[in-house]
DNA sequence: AGTCTTGTTGAGAATTATTCTTAAGAAGTA
DNA sequence: TACTTCTTAAGAATAATTCTCAACAAGACT
């Protein structure tokens, strides 16, 4: 099953289960984020979606992304100082956030993937998924102008 | 040593190390976030700081928070659909984010605290700290109106 | 296939959040 | 004390996001 088909099936199932409608706009927005190799911001998603749906409004993209987020189909990505960006988490991965430029890097880690959700968390609500968030200075910024000296111990 | 003194010492050291000045505004902003039991947004920090520095401008709070973030003294917190919020990570903890209301809950987990930063991450840059991010629906939202049915597997 | 219900959208407008500009203030050094 | 220059505040501007409401359309039912 191709990723696109998998994504569509997931979208359909989730919308149905929640009594929501499957619209072309929702399809295109979701596919845009799911197919994206990075973390697109709203206007980037808007541009992508407009290729197939030229009349789609920016507000629709906002509304759709937040609705997909509520449904767990996409999630806003931690970044530093940048407008909100989204990730469809089509595959398990973790994030490294640069404190300086705000870039968010994906990385894989089989060892981190093995970690169970601890009991303590379940008292807070229904947990859908987890990933590890790292924070520091990316290589680009390190090489650029002397990395910022970290003033914060293990967080 | 009290938390306040520890925070001040950390601020001072980090600013010095980076050739930056220690200003009253920076002190108050940092102490406000460090003393906060939750994750204050910019305007909340502004209100707190104004108690001791009534003329501080909102722009200064924004600038100071982003500068502190670059320095690793505070970090923006993942949230869903809310304006940006900050955490000083004075103590190691992890986050549970509600996909519905956007609330971010802290939780402690000794087992998660033990996790080492994997090798894969170090190729991306200099890692300062890590925490686990969980995503789901909080108890408040579950009890409120039938939790959103999750359409997304383990992320 | 047609009708109906109502969720969803788009265009235009409005609001909110954030950043810019620039002169003055102030932290820190000599 | 004088000097350098980083940092700030006030006012303005910009960018990001959300609202309003009539029209459209997804999906259920007949």
**Tokens found for residue A98:** 């640069």
Residues A120, B137: C-beta atoms closer than 8 Å: no
What does the pLDDT read at residue B148?
58
Chains A & B: contacts with CB separation below 8 Å: 242
Distance B136 CA to C3 C1' (A): 40
Separation between Cα atoms, residue B151 and residue A7, nearest integer Å: 10
pLDDT tens digit sequence for A12-36: 999 999 999 999 999 999 999 999 9
Separation between Cα atoms, residue B58 and residue B41, nearest integer Å: 12
Domain shared by A101 and A80, yes or no: no
Domain shared by B111 and B143, yes or no: yes
Domain shared by B140 and B125, yes or no: yes
How high is the ipTM of this complex? 0.90
Domain that holds residue A24: 1-89
**Mean pLDDT by groups of 10 residues along chain B of 155 residues:** 89 95 97 94 96 96 96 89 90 93 92 91 93 94 68 43
A155 inside domain: no
What total of structural domains would you count in chain A?
A: 2
B102 inside domain: yes
Domain shared by B59 and B101, yes or no: no
Residue to mutate among A11, A91, A128, A131, with most B CBs inside 10 A, is A128
B153 inside domain: no
Domain shared by B38 and B76, yes or no: yes
Domain shared by A82 and A125, yes or no: no
Query: Where residue B79 sits, what CATH number does that domain have?
Result: 1.10.10.10
Q: Would you list the DSSP string of B10-73?
A: HHHHHHHHTT----HHHHHHHHHHHH-SS--BHHHHHHHHHHH-TT--HHHHHHHHHHHHHTTS
3-state secondary structure A23-60: CHHHHHHHHHHHHCCCCCEHHHHHHHHHCCCCCCCHHH
Domain shared by B83 and B95, yes or no: no
Residues B120, A132: C-beta atoms closer than 8 Å: no
Domain shared by B78 and B2, yes or no: yes
Among A74, A89, A104, residue at a domain's last position: A89
Residues B125, A96: C-beta atoms closer than 8 Å: yes
Domain shared by A131 and A114, yes or no: yes
What does the pLDDT read at residue B155?
37
Q: How many CA atoms lie within 13 A of B62 on its CB side?
A: 6
What does the pLDDT read at residue B134?
95
Find and list the nucleotides of strand C having atoms within 7 Å of a protein beta carbon: 7-13, 16-21, 26-28
B155 inside domain: no
Report residues of chain A scoring pLDDT below 70.
145-155
Domain shared by B121 and B96, yes or no: yes
With beta carbons less than 8 A apart as the criterion, state whether A29 and A52 touch. Answer: no
Distance B82 CA to C11 C1' (A): 26
What does the pLDDT read at residue A153?
39
Query: Where residue A140 sits, what CATH number does that domain have?
Result: 3.30.1490.190
A132 inside domain: yes
Domain shared by A67 and A128, yes or no: no
């Amino acid at each position: 099953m191709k990723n696109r088909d998998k994504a569509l099936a997931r979208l359909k199932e989730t919308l149905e289960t929640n009594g929501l409608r499957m619209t072309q706009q929702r399809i295109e927005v979701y596919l845009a984020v799911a197919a994206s190799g990075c973390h697109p911001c709203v206007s980037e998603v808007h541009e992508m979606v407009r290729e197939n749906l030229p009349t789609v409004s920016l507000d629709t993209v906002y509304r759709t992304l937040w609705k997909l987020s509520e449904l767990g189909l996409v999630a806003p990505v931690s970044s530093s100082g940048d407008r909100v960006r989204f990730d469809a988490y089509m595959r398990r991965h973790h994030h490294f956030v640069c404190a300086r430029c705000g870039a968010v890097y994906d990385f894989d880690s089989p060892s981190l993937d093995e970690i169970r959700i601890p009991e303590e968390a379940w008292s807070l609500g229904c947990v859908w998924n987890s990933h590890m968030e790292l924070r520091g200075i990316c290589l680009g910024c390190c090489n650029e102008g002397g990395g910022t000296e970290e003033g914060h111990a293990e967080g």
